């Protein structure tokens, strides 16, 4: 297992960071550039920005925001949401992002991952997978369009496929657990981590420090991502990292 990373996630809509529950019921959480700078100083290892309002006419605004963030922080960050082409990826990377997350577009056109990995390098391509449990079974299906559309695709098989296509890591979000603070989906995370050899970032459901430890040790996650816990100061990043260190985990920094 690689050194564990702690990654705040910032969902943004029309230039503001927001947070929801199960991909709905959003609340304003602040300015993305200011929050990014604060997280960089607070000890975050990386940041993930997800544009949930991405449309073609917002590309210039989004690129401007990426440039401002890159000027303010010293840690890597990824941007996802509305990425539909190699050209979109190039714009975001040139603006200053270190990585780009691809979800819906990759499901519709898997070759996008391969083309992007060849042109920009696998380390810059993050396959974002939103997965929903199929009833009470140990099966999960892939959702797209911000978690709203269930494709019926098997999430574990898709994870193996994105690795084969060239993705450098997987950002795995449980649609069922998102924003609930009930804990990560350990079964989902473990099933995918055991299927692939690239890093898996666990997302969706963090509510207390123990949840992070569980998804790393039981779910075999390589990185842990959370949003509302950090945004609303319910848990400080360094408090979490100190806890994980005391638990004997090997952290990124």
Query: Of 11, 45, 88, 178, which one is the catalytic site residue?
Result: 11
pLDDT band of residue 151 (cuts 50, 70, 90) is: very high
What is the β-pairing status of strands 99-102 and 125-133? parallel
pLDDT one-digit tens code per residue, 71-85: 999 999 999 988 999
pLDDT at 91 over 90: yes
First to last CA, the chain: 15
Spatial CB neighbours of 93, under 8 Å, sequence gap ≥ 6 = 100, 120, 124
pTM, two decimals, is 0.93
> The tokens of 252 are what?
């990124």
Q: What per-residue confidence (pLDDT) applies to 22?
A: 52
Q: Tell me if 70 is assigned to some domain.
A: yes
Indicate the pLDDT class of residue 193, thresholds 50, 70 and 90: very high
Q: Would you say residue 176 has pLDDT above 90?
A: yes
Whole domain around residue 75: which residue ranges? 5-246
Instruction: Look at residue 23 and tell me whether its pLDDT is greater than 60.
Output: no
Q: Confirm whether 130 is a catalytic residue.
A: yes
Q: Which residue has the higher pLDDT, 28 or 183?
A: 183
Radius of gyration from C-alpha coordinates of the chain: 16
Could you give the CA distance from residue 172 to residue 42 in angstroms, rounded to a whole number? 24
Active site residue 51: no
What mean pLDDT comes out for the span 9-27? Answer: 69
The whole-angstrom separation of Cα 70 and Cα 223 is: 22
Q: How does residue 55 score in pLDDT terms, banded at 50, 70 and 90?
A: very low
Task: Assign residue 173 the CATH number of its domain.
Answer: 3.20.20.70
At residue 120, the pLDDT reads 98
State the DSSP H helix or E strand holding residue 104, giving kind and residue range, or none if neither.
Answer: helix 104-108
Catalytic one of 130, 178, 185, 222: 130
Residue 65 has phi, psi (to 5 degrees) of -65, -40
More confident residue, 129 or 15: 129
Tell me the residue length of the chain: 253
Collapsing DSSP states into helix, strand and coil, what is residue 98?
A: coil
Total of domains in the chain: 1
- The answer to whether residue 251 sits within a structural domain is no
DSSP label at residue 161: H
Q: Is residue 253 part of a domain?
A: no
Cα–Cα nearest to 207, from 10, 21, 75, 47: 21
Q: What is the rounded distance in angstroms from the CA atom of residue 179 to the CA atom of residue 181? A: 6
Tell the burial category of 242 from Cβ atoms under 10 Å away from its Cβ (0-12, 13-18, 19+). middle
């Amino acid at each position: 297992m690689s050194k564990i990373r702690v990654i705040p996630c910032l969902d943004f809509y029309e230039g503001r960071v927001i947070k929801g529950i199960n991909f709905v019921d959003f609340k304003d959480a602040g300015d993305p550039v200011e929050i990014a700078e604060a997280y960089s100083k607070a000890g975050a290892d990386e940041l993930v920005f997800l544009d949930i309002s991405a449309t073609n006419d917002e590309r210039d605004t989004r690129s401007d925001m990426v440039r401002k963030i890159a000027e303010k922080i010293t840690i890597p960050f990824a941007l996802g949401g509305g990425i539909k082409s190699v050209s979109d990826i190039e714009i975001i990377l040139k603006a200053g992002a270190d990585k780009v997350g691809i979800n819906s577009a990759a499901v519709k056109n898997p070759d996008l991952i391969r083309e992007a990995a060849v042109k920009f390098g696998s380390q810059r391509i993050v396959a974002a997978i939103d997965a929903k449990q199929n009833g009470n079974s140990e099966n999960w299906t892939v959702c797209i369009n911000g978690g709203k559309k269930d494709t019926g695709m098997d999430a574990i098989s898709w994870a193996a496929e994105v690795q084969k296509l060239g993705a450098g890591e997987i950002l795995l979000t449980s649609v069922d657990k998102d924003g609930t603070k009930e804990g990560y989906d350990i079964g989902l995370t473990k099933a995918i981590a055991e299927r692939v050899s690239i890093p898996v970032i666990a997302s969706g459901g963090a509510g207390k420090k123990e949840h992070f430890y569980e998804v790393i040790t039981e779910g075999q996650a390589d990185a842990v991502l959370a949003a509302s816990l950090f945004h609303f100061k319910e848990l400080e990043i360094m408090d979490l990292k100190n806890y994980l260190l005391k638990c004997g985990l090997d952290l990124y920094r």
